[in-house]
Structure formats: C-alpha cells, structure tokens
Amino acid sequence: MDSTANISYMGLQDHMLPCYTKQVLGFDCPGCGLQRAILLLLNGDFIAAFYMYPAVFTLIPLALILVLNKFFNLRYANQSIIWLSIASVALILINYIIKLIH
C-alpha cells in the first residue's frame, strides 16, 4: 500500500460529514456508509467498499454520466441514467434492509 494514499485517506477521514439520523434516532440512514465506501475506493480497497456500501459502484458511474451529459450529448445517456438509477435504488434499499435486520 502506498503511504501517500494512506495519508490522504486518513486526512479525508477526519472531515467526513456526520449522520444526523444516527445521532438523533440511533439507527443508520439509507446513505450511511457512502462516504466511507468512497474513501475505501480511493484507498484501492474495492471489496471493503462493496461491503460497506454496494451502491457506490452504481452511484459513481451515474454521477459521471450525469455530469458528462451536461457538457456532451452522450448517445445512450438516458438509458444509462435510468438503469443505473434503478440499480442504485435497489442496492440502497437492499443494503438498508440488511442493515436494519442485523
């Protein structure tokens, strides 16, 4: 593991936003884990990122397509956006239900 990647990971970890749902109500919200999953991806730990928040692998391409489609007229952007949105919502809901059960 590269020491510079680990240092940047630790620096970003100190500036994550808190989950107010967890603080107030005492349980995770559907978005809990997304920031940590992104940090794990930046650190190169893809398997841990998937276990932390599986939808990260659909949300990042979705965000990329949405941004690129603003500047360039992508050919299959609408279909990609629809399918990635459906997959993201499904993964978020499944992950959230599993978190609530355990």
- pLDDT confidence of residue 17: 77
Write down the pTM of the prediction. Answer: 0.78
User: Rounded to an integer, what distance in angstroms lies between the CA atom of residue 29 and that of residue 79?
Assistant: 28
Tokens encoding 72: 């360039």
What residue segments make up the domains of the chain, in order of their start?
3-101
User: Rounded to an integer, what distance in angstroms lies between the CA atom of residue 76 and that of residue 37?
Assistant: 28
Q: Chain-wide mean pLDDT for the chain?
A: 86
